[in-house]
Structure 1
Amino acid sequence: MKILIIGGNGTIGKKVTERLSHKHEVIVAGRHSGDVTVDFSDSKSIKSMFEKVGKLDSIVTIAGDAKWDKFNKLSEDDFYIGIKSKLMGQVNVVRIGKDYLNPKGSITLSTGILADDPVDMTTSAAMVNGAIHSFVKAVALELENGIRINAVSSDLVEDAYEKYKDYFPGNTPVPMSKIVDGYIKCIEGIITGRIIRIMA
């Protein structure tokens, strides 16, 4: 398969890219590096990216920002960071990218445990993750040409444990191989409309 991974150089993305590269043609898109660059918050940039890479069998997004702060400190603009980047970035990948997928292609989005089990200072990020879950379940009913869509939602990952452990007291980090398996299930399997929750 010809697979585009947006965020393929990130903590999770590079492990997904590495695994998929053994069997498939993988194209990596990133903000500053990769086979092609993209501004995830700009639909015109997303469209330009797809024009450059051409027809695909699978699209994977492991990207997007959201503001972390106390709810009382979050401004309206702070909420729009996550809405414009992680939420609408992924929605626009589906909206635009579906036209570049071959029949029976797939789209895999990324969220995280905050949708189900939020922690302190994650009101905005949790909201965005939950919205993506609802989007995936709804849009799966309407995608045409046999196109499938799923989302991978993981707990705190091993490779980011030291950086984020203080935010997630008591959360057992998830092995990276287990998270990669979740993406493989979505890409190489036949499921659609699913939220694949990965926990330790």
Structure 2
Amino acid sequence: MYLPTITDDTATCSAAALKLPCSTTATKACMQRKVSIGNHWFAICKAYAGYRTAAAGADWLHVLSGASRMKILLVGASGTLGQAVATTLGTHHQLIRAGRHGGDVQVDLTDDASVQALFAQVGTVDAVVATTGKLHFGPLGSMTPAQFNVGLQDKLLGQVRLALAAQHHLTAGGSITLTSGIVSAQPIRDGANATAVNAALEGFARGAACELLPRGLRINVVSPNVLVESLADYGAYFPGFEAVTAQRASLAYQRSVEGVQSGQVFNVW
């Protein structure tokens, strides 16, 4: 990440835009800086500094300092990966678990109205995490457009739809974390749909990050290998791949939610 020096004019803080004077408790390039949400420095300083700040008209913003408790919406919480992520993040944060048929709230990511209703119900959150999405596995020679469309409509557009809605319901400094998979970079037999969908999700996050950063928001993707817990169902598709545990993969979600990076693909291979 590019981190300008402290002398960069764009880091100059306007006390008039803040509820607090522009004073201390920051680190390095963010010393003496309390920037407003509209300043592109906001996300950088938020990540590197252990202070609280507020922009004009906003409530107090609690900046992550290692122990700050966040309100996190986890979609796909009942799945194998989702359960592991819930265990990891739930240790220090408030989780709202969402699923198509269970959880604290229900949502169908293939339906616009359902996603909008989800955020109307949960309100503003500090982070949104998605660990869900269907794909089609099958030989290319017999694949139909309808079969290929399964992954496009469910995993790809479902997570994109969630991210597009989530951006309007995040606190300043909030984040979105999506899920792709190793086949985005390491194709497998019968996995053309999975490779296309996962690669598209990663491309979406890289592009979206450029527009979210000036608004003080982040987005990343976690790309796990096949899970040890899922080998019985998917192991035949991944010969020679070194499976990872769901718990190990869950640490990448913690890194995305609690970390400072944006536009990144966190590979767990």
TM-score of the two chains, using structure 2 as the length reference: 0.72
Match of 1:168 in 2: 238
Matched, 1:17 2:86: yes
**Which stretch has the larger CA shift, 49-58 or 137-146?**
137-146
- Aligned residue among 14, 31, 42 for 2:100: 31
Match of 2:260 in 1: 190
Match of 1:51 in 2: 120
Please, which runs of 5 or more residues in structure 2 have no aligned partner? Answer: 1-69
- Aligned residue among 168, 172, 186 for 1:103: 172
Tell which has more relative contact order, 1 or 2 (C-alpha 8 A, sep 6+): 1
Match of 2:210 in 1: 141
Which of these two proteins has the greater Rg computed from alpha carbons? 2
Contact 1:108 1:149 in 2 (8 A): yes
What is the distance in 2 between the residues matched to 1:171 and 1:74?
25
**Which stretch has the larger CA shift, 99-108 or 89-98?**
89-98
CA shift digits 1:85-123 (9 cap, x unpaired): 111111111111111100100000000011011111111
What is the distance in 1 between the residues matched to 2:76 and 2:176?
14
Contact 1:114 1:125 in 2 (8 A): yes
Please, which runs of 5 or more residues in structure 1 have no aligned partner? Answer: none
CA shift digits 1:10-56 (9 cap, x unpaired): 00000110121111100011011000111111111111111111100
- Give the drift of 1:83: 0.8
Match of 2:187 in 1: 118
Contact 1:108 1:152 in 2 (8 A): yes
Matched position secondary structure for 1:104:
strand
What is the distance in 1 between the residues matched to 2:98 and 2:104?
6
Contact 1:38 1:46 in 2 (8 A): yes
Could you tell me which amino acid in structure 1 is paired with residue 74 of structure 2? I
Could you tell me which amino acid in structure 2 is paired with residue 19 of structure 1? T
- Give the drift of 1:177: 2.5
> What is the aligned-residue RMSD (CA, Å)?
0.9
Could you tell me which amino acid in structure 1 is paired with residue 116 of structure 2? K
**Which stretch has the larger CA shift, 179-188 or 73-82?**
73-82
CA shift digits 1:133-188 (9 cap, x unpaired): 11111110001531100000011111112221111111111122221111100000
What is the distance in 1 between the residues matched to 2:268 and 2:75?
20
Matched position secondary structure for 1:141:
helix
Matched, 1:64 2:133: yes
Considering fraction of residues, name the structure with more strand.
1
What is the distance in 2 between the residues matched to 1:20 and 1:93?
19
Contact 1:83 1:128 in 2 (8 A): yes
Match of 2:64 in 1: none
What is the distance in 2 between the residues matched to 1:196 and 1:104?
19
Contact 2:77 2:86 in 1 (8 A): yes
- Aligned residue among 164, 176, 181 for 2:251: 181
What is the distance in 1 between the residues matched to 2:185 and 2:196?
10
TM-score of the two chains, using structure 1 as the length reference: 0.97
Matched position secondary structure for 1:172:
coil
